[in-house]
Amino acid sequence: MSLKDQITEDMKTAMRAKETARLGTIRLLLAAIKQREVDERVVVDDAGVIAIVEKLIKQRKDSIEQFEKAGRTDLVDLESNEMKVLQAYMPAPLSADEISKAVQEAVAALGASGPQDMGKVIGALKPKLAGKADMGAVSAMVKAALAK
């Protein structure tokens, strides 16, 4: 079962259980998927769904930060709950050791040796680690590996 089908099934389950908050978040996700499919005239695969979920999670994090600054704890709670629902569709995150190993392998495979090769290394790692690791942390690890 594809991730998109799983999300649709979860929507039906949330409807039957009358979980309005969860249902709203899942509908938002399905709308974002449908929007991408219509805009780009493609059928979104699991990698595309994960990219959409990542984007929505990032939006929630930014909103939470802004609401905390404004002292709106009610909205912080709402966004946090939406983020929890969205995170259920993300693959299991990799450990720091696994990410470090992937970075070392990519550096060795590409023969990278300096900051000028950072783009090549990140480009090779992004398809492997997308959705499984914070790319900001991966970027910092690549920078450290290439500085040696």
Between CA 18 and CA 21 the distance in angstroms is: 9
Q: In this predicted structure, what is the pLDDT of residue 143?
A: 85
- How far out from the chain centre does Cα 19 lie? 24
Mean pLDDT of 110-136: 81
Residue 130 above 80 pLDDT?
no
Mean pLDDT of 7-30: 96
| C-alpha dihedral sign at 2, 34, 91, 104 | positive
Q: State the pLDDT confidence band at 138, using cuts at 50, 70 and 90.
A: confident
The answer on 80 and 128 residing in a single domain is no
Containing structural domain, residue 136: 96-147
Q: Which two tokens stand for residue 12?
A: 């039906």
The answer on 25 and 55 residing in a single domain is yes
Q: In this predicted structure, what is the pLDDT of residue 72?
A: 93
Q: In this predicted structure, what is the pLDDT of residue 34?
A: 96
Mean pLDDT of 46-75: 93
The last residue of a domain, from among 87, 112, 134: 87
